């Protein structure tokens, strides 16, 4: 699945995210965040061969979805399956950190 290019300003509700079928990578951040911009090529490389839904969600004060996941720093990447959090990584600095996160999808499939 292709990666999302821009942060969604109208985020889905927590119930909508929990109801998503299959694997989903939630990426919380903002377009002006330096750490978020630095992570983009790393994320693109790690996601290149993966069939994982990617939701890029704009976060900040008053954003209920990020608060429901207790997001404190950006970017925060959360791997979900059927409404269950499998793993997360905060402020990844290399492709390996994201690969380790995504490998949890392989482990969870049995």
pLDDT by position in tens, the chain (length 110): 778 889 999 999 999 999 999 999 999 999 999 999 999 999 999 999 899 999 999 999 999 999 999 999 999 999 999 999 999 999 999 999 999 999 988 876 55
Q: Which domain holds residue 21?
A: 14-108
Tell me whether residue 4 is in a domain.
Answer: no
34 in Cβ contact with 85 (< 8 Å): no
Tell me whether residue 83 is in a domain.
Answer: yes
**105: which 2 tokens?**
């999808």
Tell me whether residue 3 is in a domain.
Answer: no
Integer Cα distance of 59 and 109 in angstroms? 30
State pTM to two decimals: 0.94
How many structural domains does the chain have? 1
CATH of the domain at 74: 3.40.30.10
Tell me whether residue 6 is in a domain.
Answer: no
Which residue, 106, 108, 104, 51, is CA-closest to 77?
Answer: 104
Tell me whether residue 1 is in a domain.
Answer: no
């Amino acid at each position: 699945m292709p990666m999302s290019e821009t942060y969604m300003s109208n985020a889905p509700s927590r119930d909508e995210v929990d109801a998503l079928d299959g694997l989903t990578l939630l990426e919380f951040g903002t377009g002006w965040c330096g750490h978020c911009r630095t992570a983009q090529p790393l994320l693109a490389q790690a996601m290149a061969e993966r069939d994982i839904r990617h939701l890029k969600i704009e976060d900040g004060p008053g954003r209920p979805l990020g608060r429901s996941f207790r997001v404190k720093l950006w970017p925060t990447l959360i791997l979900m399956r059927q409404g269950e959090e499998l793993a997360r990584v905060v402020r990844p600095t290399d492709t390996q950190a994201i690969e380790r996160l995504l490998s949890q999808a392989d482990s969870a499939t049995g």
